[in-house]
Chains A and B, each alone.
Chain A
């Protein structure tokens, strides 16, 4: 595994090579990682993958033209080829007056405790195999009708990132993550239902095998006997997972790039009263619990916290250097890189929905007659991020007389993101980090009215 110094060195060489090849400015992002994946099925290890990787992504500017290239060959010859490719790419681009290298930060780079837990690399593979097996065992033991687990997947990763620009930006950091998930199946007669469980943390010690397995086993068995509900409009409780998925779409639509290009339902709505006062949503790139948290973003700008929705109003859009220059605003530190293979672009970091007063049980009581949605499917094609309209597959439980009743499946929920924001009646009090829709800390929420499409 490459150390941060080695990566920073490669990044520095790439920047020098790019300016040598004709770039007026350059920025290099080096990344190195070591990861481990274990898949367990039926009490046995199915596969075990260990890997290391490293690479550099290079942005080159020729005046107001931007080009990007990435590569994994960090030798001098490889770096020089990379620089030629990035500069060559920049020559193809049209000029854009807002384009240019990020400025060195004026704010201090925050220190975030606990981003790297050394226990990740210190934990034997046998220990994490045992963790994965316990997760599966717990799911199977929850209910005699839990008939199998498709697989338990455990992954951990330790990674370093380093940035260097010709404008004097320089920095590096290390992080670790560990997560596990499974899909359990429950069957009765010839019916099969599935349930999902997951856990996320900085090291395997953060994962609670019993809780992860129990969630999947309980959900699968609770869905047995599910029927299709009648089409209607009614109040719904969205589980924390479903809430997180929707929050992810809302966060994406608040990224200034889409807003500026007229492709967001939130365009020209800054300051408008458009949401329920019950909802407080923020982007938080420095919460130590958030898996996306980092001292700086993909352009070296300090990460921070940006309130997005509060007091019923739309409070802010998320910016990187480009969109900020275009809007005459400041970068909110939201330039994201999925890896060195993609250039930075505006994206959510961690989303945080402030918890409310009511427990899940109270939310359900408050609902009276309605539906609890525990799972949504087809989000990729079912949500139109430009118009904000959605229609997605769903399953869950009926709510009758303020209590959870029979399981429901094979129906759709439809609406639009703005309308749904306004229809939130309450956010629950039990919140947790959910790796759906990005990295989101949220509780379940009660939405006043949604359209159910069923029989």
Chain B
């Protein structure tokens, strides 16, 4: 228990002592440990532990928020009084708190905190050795390990009391390879909402995958520039849908008219072969939780069903505005942040396309296997993605690797041009930034083909 129910009830009562429609207390304890290896040396061990709370009062359309470091009773009450001090109405009475059903916590077999740091260092040494052993052309290898445990408790004036306990482990490997004057990099990660058991099954493989990416690129040609058919690979290829469409479905952008999907609910936005979900309840995935950071249970929300737009992603505030229920997407980076609608794990459901045929049907095009990341402007729908691994498609075959490619386009147009969805499927981990807050998100899909997309490269 981060704070006692009695104290939480008192905070809510004081927060509403001069009016307001809704009050909430969010408490959190975060513990973490990170470690890296660079130049074959274990370095930057970092240990962290912090606690804090945020008190929120919603009065009409105005949200007031105060957060404090620590969970001391006096600080929590002072935060509540400060918020109430700005209002001048009659006291509102919170509904008595009642603990929710025990949350469906993810099963953590081996708490990472119970594993000696030396074991974590050993894994990093293995990554380093395997990356360097991949080729004499590997000139630099580095890898990082991070674990985090986040315990949260939410109490609100509607009587909600809920808690979650989230443990995440992630490993990353970066490799630099050099041939003559050419330098290339490769990157690979492994992460989950799981314990140390995630690393039981050959974690060192990601170092070899990162090395292979860098080595492949050494022989790469400059990427082509211009419009062509693009096949996007499975797994992290899902970041394309995350950026292109997911952000535009977050209700805060929609309600301000700052999304191209505003007013499009029920409309055809893609071919019937496309179905996509946001699902915060997928077992063990990176973006998974028992509840969101407002206490709403995480769940699966259909975003696009057979080409039709079916739902936006809501937190409580935006759901109230639209007269609907939260979809369990009210997330915040820490107690220092207000919750906002965010994706959890977003994916395109596997289709019936044969991944090989999806490529072999293309005469000339570009195969984007993986991305370094991307960005979208939801108001206009314009997006851009950096391709970290890409190949030319010539006469139905993925041929030469290309360096420095960027995919660019407009989401409304690009989504309608998806003409094949593969039957393969993979989930990958990522970090999503929005309004200054970073959230762990999962992305997934199989091979997806888009007819007519702009590839920005250096070869004109």
Chain B: how many interface residues by the 8 Å CB criterion? 77
Of B70, B184, B379, B386, the residue contacting A72 (CB under 8 A) is B70
- Cβ contacts under 8 Å, A413 to chain B: 456
The answer to the question of A88 belonging to the interface, with a C-beta cut-off of 8 Å to chain B, is: yes
Residue pair A41, B454 in contact (C-beta under 8 Å): no
Residue pair B43, A451 in contact (C-beta under 8 Å): no
The docked-state distance in angstroms from the alpha carbon of A101 to that of B306 is 61
Stretch at the interface among A202-210, A244-252, A376-384, A436-444: A376-384
Of A49, A54, A228, A387, the residue contacting B184 (CB under 8 A) is A387
Residue pair B406, A392 in contact (C-beta under 8 Å): yes
Q: Which residue, B64, B86, B185, B386, has most C-beta atoms of chain A within 10 A?
A: B386
Given A192-B380, A377-B377: A261 and B408 interface contact (C-beta under 8 Å) = no
Nearest neighbor of A384 in chain B, beta-carbon distance: B185
Residue pair B373, A378 in contact (C-beta under 8 Å): yes
Given A81-B49, A391-B223: A261 and B38 interface contact (C-beta under 8 Å) = yes
- Cβ contacts under 8 Å, B377 to chain A: 194, 377
Residue pair B46, A53 in contact (C-beta under 8 Å): no
Residue pair A73, B51 in contact (C-beta under 8 Å): yes
The answer to the question of A103 belonging to the interface, with a C-beta cut-off of 8 Å to chain B, is: no
Contact flags (1/0) for B27-66 with A, using CB distance below 8 Å? Answer: 0000001010011011111111111100000000111111
Chain A nearest Cβ from B50, distance in angstroms: 5
The answer to the question of B158 belonging to the interface, with a C-beta cut-off of 8 Å to chain A, is: no
Given A73-B51, A92-B118, A412-B456: A45 and B62 interface contact (C-beta under 8 Å) = yes
Residue pair A453, B225 in contact (C-beta under 8 Å): yes
The answer to the question of B457 belonging to the interface, with a C-beta cut-off of 8 Å to chain A, is: yes
The answer to the question of A107 belonging to the interface, with a C-beta cut-off of 8 Å to chain B, is: no
- Cβ contacts under 8 Å, A395 to chain B: 382
Chain A nearest Cβ from B262, distance in angstroms: 10
The answer to the question of B417 belonging to the interface, with a C-beta cut-off of 8 Å to chain A, is: no
Stretch at the interface among B98-106, B162-170, B253-261, B342-350: B253-261
The docked-state distance in angstroms from the alpha carbon of A378 to that of B384 is 6
Of B44, B385, B455, the residue contacting A378 (CB under 8 A) is B385
Given A194-B377, A381-B373, A391-B404: A89 and B47 interface contact (C-beta under 8 Å) = yes
Chain B nearest Cβ from A375, distance in angstroms: 9
Chain B nearest Cβ from A250, distance in angstroms: 17
- Cβ contacts under 8 Å, B68 to chain A: 51-53
Residue pair A378, B386 in contact (C-beta under 8 Å): yes
Residue pair B117, A92 in contact (C-beta under 8 Å): yes
Chain B nearest Cβ from A29, distance in angstroms: 13
Residue pair A73, B70 in contact (C-beta under 8 Å): yes
The docked-state distance in angstroms from the alpha carbon of A183 to that of B253 is 12
The answer to the question of A430 belonging to the interface, with a C-beta cut-off of 8 Å to chain B, is: no
The docked-state distance in angstroms from the alpha carbon of A41 to that of B321 is 15
Residue pair A377, B50 in contact (C-beta under 8 Å): no
The answer to the question of B242 belonging to the interface, with a C-beta cut-off of 8 Å to chain A, is: no
The docked-state distance in angstroms from the alpha carbon of A291 to that of B227 is 42
Nearest neighbor of B182 in chain A, beta-carbon distance: A387
Mostly, the A contact residues are strand
Q: Which residue, B48, B66, B371, has most C-beta atoms of chain A within 10 A?
A: B48
Residue pair A231, B49 in contact (C-beta under 8 Å): no
The docked-state distance in angstroms from the alpha carbon of A395 to that of B184 is 28
Residue pair A262, B223 in contact (C-beta under 8 Å): no
- Cβ contacts under 8 Å, A111 to chain B: none
Residue pair A148, B257 in contact (C-beta under 8 Å): yes
The docked-state distance in angstroms from the alpha carbon of A454 to that of B438 is 31
Given A49-B338, A386-B183: A94 and B386 interface contact (C-beta under 8 Å) = no
The answer to the question of A361 belonging to the interface, with a C-beta cut-off of 8 Å to chain B, is: no
Chain A nearest Cβ from B184, distance in angstroms: 7
Of A47, A51, A150, the residue contacting B379 (CB under 8 A) is A150
Q: Which residue, B47, B50, B140, B176, has most C-beta atoms of chain A within 10 A?
A: B47
- Cβ contacts under 8 Å, B82 to chain A: 50
Contact flags (1/0) for A83-105 with B, using CB distance below 8 Å? Answer: 00110111111101000000000
- Cβ contacts under 8 Å, B48 to chain A: 69-71, 341
The answer to the question of A343 belonging to the interface, with a C-beta cut-off of 8 Å to chain B, is: yes
- Cβ contacts under 8 Å, A90 to chain B: 45
Mostly, the B contact residues are strand
Residue pair A391, B43 in contact (C-beta under 8 Å): no
Residue pair B183, A387 in contact (C-beta under 8 Å): yes
Nearest neighbor of A413 in chain B, beta-carbon distance: B456
Of B35, B44, B375, B409, the residue contacting A343 (CB under 8 A) is B44
The docked-state distance in angstroms from the alpha carbon of A447 to that of B456 is 19
- Cβ contacts under 8 Å, B33 to chain A: 89
- Cβ contacts under 8 Å, A233 to chain B: 460
Of B70, B184, B257, B374, the residue contacting A147 (CB under 8 A) is B257
- Cβ contacts under 8 Å, B211 to chain A: none
The answer to the question of B69 belonging to the interface, with a C-beta cut-off of 8 Å to chain A, is: yes
Chain B nearest Cβ from A221, distance in angstroms: 14
Residues A37-78 near B (CB distance < 8 A): 41, 44-55, 66-73
Residue pair B374, A193 in contact (C-beta under 8 Å): no
Residue pair A412, B384 in contact (C-beta under 8 Å): yes
The docked-state distance in angstroms from the alpha carbon of A85 to that of B32 is 11
Residue pair B44, A393 in contact (C-beta under 8 Å): no
Of A148, A185, A343, A387, the residue contacting B185 (CB under 8 A) is A387
Residues B96-145 near A (CB distance < 8 A): 117-118, 120-121, 139-140, 142
The answer to the question of B405 belonging to the interface, with a C-beta cut-off of 8 Å to chain A, is: yes
Nearest neighbor of A87 in chain B, beta-carbon distance: B47
Given A148-B256, A148-B257: A380 and B375 interface contact (C-beta under 8 Å) = yes
Residue pair B456, A49 in contact (C-beta under 8 Å): no
Contact flags (1/0) for B418-460 with A, using CB distance below 8 Å? Answer: 0000000000000000000000000000000000001111101
- Cβ contacts under 8 Å, A51 to chain B: 65-68, 336
Given A46-B63, A94-B41, A391-B386: A414 and B46 interface contact (C-beta under 8 Å) = no
Residue pair A68, B46 in contact (C-beta under 8 Å): yes
- Cβ contacts under 8 Å, A381 to chain B: 371-375, 385-386, 388
The answer to the question of B226 belonging to the interface, with a C-beta cut-off of 8 Å to chain A, is: yes
Residue pair A453, B455 in contact (C-beta under 8 Å): yes
The docked-state distance in angstroms from the alpha carbon of A389 to that of B120 is 33
- Cβ contacts under 8 Å, B379 to chain A: 150, 183, 185, 192, 194
The docked-state distance in angstroms from the alpha carbon of A92 to that of B62 is 48
Residue pair A55, B50 in contact (C-beta under 8 Å): yes
The answer to the question of B403 belonging to the interface, with a C-beta cut-off of 8 Å to chain A, is: yes
Of B47, B139, B405, the residue contacting A69 (CB under 8 A) is B47
Give 12 CB contacts A-B under 8 Å.
A48-B86, A49-B65, A52-B68, A69-B46, A72-B69, A73-B50, A231-B460, A343-B44, A391-B456, A412-B454, A414-B404, A454-B225
Which 9 A-B residue pairs are closest in the complex by CB-CB distance? Answer: A412-B456, A393-B384, A381-B386, A453-B456, A381-B373, A378-B384, A381-B372, A453-B225, A89-B45
Mark A residues whose CB is within 8 Å of B: 41, 44-55, 66-73, 81-82, 85-86, 88-94, 96, 147-148, 150-151, 183, 185, 192-194, 228, 231-233, 261-263, 265, 341, 343, 377-378, 380-382, 384, 386-387, 389-393, 395, 409-415, 451, 453-455
Given contacts A49-B338, A380-B372, A414-B457, 17 further A-B contacts (CB under 8 A): A48-B63, A49-B66, A51-B66, A69-B47, A69-B48, A71-B50, A89-B117, A90-B45, A92-B118, A261-B39, A387-B184, A390-B404, A392-B384, A411-B408, A412-B457, A414-B406, A453-B457
Mark B residues whose CB is within 8 Å of A: 33, 35, 38-39, 41-52, 61-70, 82, 86, 117-118, 120-121, 139-140, 142, 176, 183-185, 223, 225-227, 253, 256-258, 260, 336, 338, 371-375, 377, 379-380, 382-386, 388, 403-406, 408-410, 454-458, 460
